[in-house]
Structure 1
């Protein structure tokens, strides 16, 4: 393991409680809030996040954010500086959408690098209402983030996967080899 890989941590908790430079939101393409992690981040972050996403929709993203892409806004009342909204794919049993899920993580790390963020908290993108099987979602998330961090490119020094359920926590620990 490289030093960068060792800076990936798996924690059980509420991502809205994290004190990091940026929290990644498992967003929908509308960017206007939703359920699960997305709803929790919007509720806890307050109206500034919704105002920022509405501005994005009115200007640069009138059709919403494409699947696999990420964009940053203020974090509002959260302890983080920024929220990076990443749209993961809906799981499909008939089509391999793994590259889109990988790209949601890569895009988030690229945006973090552009912001100069050093610490980042991820949820399990696509593993909630989007139906991605948790073990597979964890494997893809951990391997993708490790690959990006091991390249040594960028400002990100610490990544936490913050998982709300025991199932997610256990799946990510196993994927990380803990």
Structure 2
């Protein structure tokens, strides 16, 4: 999102892979060995940084700054949210202020207190995003240009995405992420697992002539190559099978006959096509004349429920959508 000239990114991934000028570490300054973002960051930063944190004293809502150690950044800001939404909000604003003061251009922030801290992801999202908003708006920032909020769990990422729409509303310009690009790197001990990604929405014409609709469907790319690297062929093969199983458990395909669509009214067809777009489903025609819908399981099922409802209204119940 573009907010007051700053690029605010919500990233689903691991903060230890970030290369921003500043990395924010969420810690209680006491226990550094528990699983979580803090342990991962300090493992990469090295024992020298962990040693600097032991016995560190900071006032509530303040930031303790260290060098980067082995982490590929310029500095690490260590914060303790104290399991308090108000303190998390204060810290988010202070992070923006200190980045600008230090002439840093980019910063990566985790979901402070959403992991070991135990706060509800929606509460954390509201606190961090409102804190960032207060730090950015009206500040006339000259250096800071890129704020990345990096979220390790999909549940937390989706919470931040929903709250971002509420906090920034019309002031935020949403941009789509870059598409996945297939790669091919044949080498010993590596394996590529070609797994369909979330299909792109098909641009459907406004005409309701079915033959024209079917022939105008564009060819869409629904494959992406995953490069899996391991110590032995068995480990790589097992990992590829796990990826495939994970995909199969989350995605679904359904087909229906074009005759079923002919009985829909204009409003009902509008509703069905709207579902295809909003749920990011892929719609294509099979060689047998059927329509095939592919996508995430919940999306395909919801689209199917819409079609079943529509056919029921018009007295046609056979088949599924």
Fold shared, TM-score > 0.5 on shorter chain: yes
CA distance, structure 1, for counterparts of residue 78 and residue 92 of structure 2: 10
Aligned match for 1:145, one of 118, 132, 149:
132
**Higher RCO by CA contacts (8 Å cutoff, separation 6 or greater):** 1
Equivalent residue number for residue 93 of structure 1: none
Equivalent residue number for residue 91 of structure 2: 104
CA distance, structure 2, for counterparts of residue 38 and residue 67 of structure 1: 19
How much does 1:51 deviate? 3.5
| 1:89 and 2:82 are equivalent in the alignment | yes
| 1:113 and 2:100 are equivalent in the alignment | yes
| 1:159 and 2:147 are equivalent in the alignment | yes
- Say whether the 8 Å CA contact 2:27–2:38 is kept in structure 1: yes
3-state DSSP class of the match of 1:104? Answer: helix
CA distance, structure 2, for counterparts of residue 4 and residue 73 of structure 1: 29
CA distance, structure 2, for counterparts of residue 2 and residue 84 of structure 1: 24
Question: Could you say what the CA RMSD is over the residues aligned between the two structures, in angstroms?
Answer: 2.1
| Per-residue CA distance 1:70-106 (angstroms, 9 max, x = gap) | 121111111111110011022xxxxxx4321211212
Return 5+ residue gaps in structure 1 as ranges: 91-96
Equivalent residue number for residue 176 of structure 1: 164
Structure 1's 80 and 135: CA in aligned 2 closer, same or farther, altered over 3 A? same
Indicate the structure (1 or 2) with the bigger Cα radius of gyration: 2
| 1:69 and 2:69 are equivalent in the alignment | no
| 1:8 and 2:3 are equivalent in the alignment | no
How much does 1:47 deviate? 1.9
How much does 1:118 deviate? 1.2
CA distance, structure 2, for counterparts of residue 98 and residue 114 of structure 1: 24
CA distance, structure 2, for counterparts of residue 165 and residue 25 of structure 1: 16
CA distance, structure 1, for counterparts of residue 5 and residue 27 of structure 2: 26
How much does 1:107 deviate? 2.4
| TM, length-normalised to structure 2 | 0.47
Structure 1's 7 and 114: CA in aligned 2 closer, same or farther, altered over 3 A? same
| 1:122 and 2:109 are equivalent in the alignment | yes
How much does 1:153 deviate? 4.4
Aligned match for 2:119, one of 126, 132, 135:
132
Equivalent residue number for residue 49 of structure 1: 49
Tell me the number of residue pairs that the alignment of Structure 1 and Structure 2 aligns.
164
More displaced, 97-106 or 163-172? Answer: 97-106
Equivalent residue number for residue 33 of structure 1: 32
CA distance, structure 2, for counterparts of residue 135 and residue 22 of structure 1: 24
- Say whether the 8 Å CA contact 1:4–1:152 is kept in structure 2: no
